[in-house]
C-alpha cells in the first residue's frame, strides 16, 4: 500500500515537471494535471476543416492567379457558312468582335423568350503582350434546340438581326453570309422605319484574310442608325470567267423618330464584312443594291473603289 502511494506521488511529480519544461514558464494552468481550463472551447472533430494561412513561396504568399474581368461588350458581326439554322438541334452561334486583340477570352449568355433570342456578350481583359494583334475574336453562343420560325436576335439589349430556323429544301445550298449587326436608334425611339441604305460610292479593302466593303454616304440622313448590312458570297463554278466569286450586298438604315443632329450634311461610312477568305489573284464582282448587274469588280489582295 505504501509503495503504491509513492508510485502515484512520483508519477504526479513527473507529470508536473513535464508540463513545466514544455511551456518554459510556471503558470497556473500548467498545474491542472492536464485538464483544460473551465472556459476552454470544446475540441473540434478530427475531420473539421480549419482554414490555415495562405501557402508561402520563398516567404511570400503564393498568387492564386489572375481574376478575369469581363466587361460587357456588344458583338458586331455574325458570319455563317450556312445561314439556315437547323430546327430542334443545339446550335452554336459565332458572334465576332472587330478591333485589335491579344489572347482575350469572350463570354456569351443566351436566353430564349418566345421568338426572341437575347444574348449578352463580353470580352475579358488581358494583360498578354503579342507582337501582332488579331483583328477579330469570336464568342461562341450556345443555342438550345429551337422549333422552326423566324427569331429576332437581340445583342446586349438592342436588336441585332433576324435568324431563320428551318430545313433547307433547295437543291443549291444557301451561300455563306456575314451580317453586320444593326446599331439601332437612340433609346426611346419608336416606330423605327427601315429602308435600303443609300450611298454614293463603295470601296473594297481586298485583304485576303478578311475583306471589307465600305459604303459611303456623303450626306447621311439624320437622325438615323445603321441597320443590318448583309453580304453573301457565291463561289463561281463556271469557266466563262476567271476563278473567284460573286459578292452581293444588302444594306439597311434605321430612320429614328427621336434624336438631335446637325442639319448640315455629314459623311457616313459603313463597313460590311465579306464572309469568305479571298484568293490572291481571284476575280470578284460586287453587286450593290438597286443595280441590275455587277457594280464593279476587283482582284483578290487589292483594293479598289466604284
- Residue in this structure with the C-alpha cell 433547295, named with its chain if needed: 170
Mean pLDDT on 286-294? 87
Among 22, 23, 41, 19, residue whose Cα is nearest residue 32: 19
Residues 65-111 pLDDT 10s: 455 689 999 999 999 998 899 999 999 999 999 988 988 999 999 99
Domain definitions of the chain by residue range: 68-172, 175-306
185 pLDDT above the threshold of 70 = yes
pTM (predicted TM-score): 0.72
Coil, strand or helix at 211? coil
Of 26-30, 182-186, 208-212, 272-276, the range with the highest mean pLDDT is 272-276
16 pLDDT above the threshold of 50 = no
Q: How confident is the model at residue 22 (pLDDT cuts 50, 70, 90)?
A: very low
Rounded Cα distance between 74 and 123, Å, is 9
Residues 260-269 pLDDT 10s: 777 677 788 8
The pLDDT of residue 60 is: 47
- Provide the b/e sequence for 18-53 (b: ≥16 CB within 10 Å): ebeeeeeeeeeebeeeeeeeeeeeeeeeeeeeeeee
Residues 200-246 pLDDT 10s: 889 998 777 788 999 998 888 777 888 889 999 999 888 889 999 99
Cis amide prior to 223 (ω within 30 degrees): yes
Residue that wins the pLDDT comparison between 11 and 232: 232
56 pLDDT above the threshold of 80 = no
Residue that wins the pLDDT comparison between 199 and 110: 110
Average pLDDT, the chain: 79
Among 128, 130, 106, 105, residue whose Cα is nearest residue 119: 106
Amino acid at each position: 500500500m505504501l509503495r503504491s502511494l509513492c508510485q502515484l506521488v512520483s508519477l504526479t511529480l513527473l507529470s508536473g515537471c513535464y508540463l513545466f519544461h514544455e511551456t518554459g514558464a510556471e503558470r497556473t494552468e500548467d498545474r491542472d494535471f492536464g485538464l483544460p481550463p473551465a472556459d476552454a472551447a470544446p475540441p473540434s472533430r478530427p475531420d473539421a476543416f480549419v482554414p490555415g494561412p495562405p501557402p508561402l513561396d520563398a516567404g511570400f504568399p503564393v498568387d492564386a492567379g489572375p481574376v478575369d474581368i469581363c466587361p460587357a461588350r456588344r458583338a458586331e458581326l455574325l458570319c455563317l457558312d450556312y445561314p439556315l439554322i437547323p430546327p430542334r438541334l443545339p446550335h452554336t452561334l459565332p458572334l465576332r468582335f472587330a478591333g485589335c486583340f491579344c489572347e482575350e477570352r469572350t463570354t456569351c449568355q443566351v436566353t430564349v423568350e418566345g421568338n426572341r433570342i437575347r444574348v449578352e456578350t463580353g470580352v475579358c481583359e488581358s494583360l498578354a503582350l503579342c507582337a501582332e494583334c488579331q483583328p477579330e475574336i469570336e464568342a461562341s453562343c450556345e443555342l438550345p434546340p429551337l422549333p422552326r420560325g423566324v427569331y429576332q436576335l437581340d445583342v446586349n439589349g438592342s436588336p441585332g438581326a433576324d435568324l431563320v430556323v428551318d430545313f433547307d429544301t433547295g437543291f443549291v445550298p444557301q451561300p455563306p453570309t456575314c451580317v453586320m449587326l444593326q446599331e439601332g436608334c437612340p433609346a426611346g425611339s419608336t416606330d423605327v422605319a427601315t429602308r435600303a441604305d443609300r450611298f454614293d460610292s463603295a470601296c473594297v479593302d481586298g485583304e485576303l484574310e478578311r475583306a471589307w466593303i465600305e459604303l459611303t454616304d456623303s450626306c447621311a440622313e439624320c437622325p438615323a442608325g445603321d441597320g443590318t448590312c448583309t453580304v453573301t458570297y457565291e463561289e463561281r463554278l463556271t469557266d466563262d470567267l476567271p476563278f473567284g466569286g460573286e459578292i452581293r450586298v444588302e444594306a439597311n438604315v434605321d430612320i429614328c423618330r427621336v434624336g438631335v443632329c446637325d442639319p448640315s450634311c455629314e459623311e457616313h461610312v459603313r463597313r460590311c464584312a465579306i464572309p469568305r477568305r479571298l484568293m490572291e489573284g481571284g476575280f470578284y464582282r460586287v453587286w450593290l443594291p438597286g443595280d441590275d448587274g455587277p457594280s464593279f469588280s476587283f482582284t483578290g489582295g487589292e483594293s479598289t473603289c466604284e
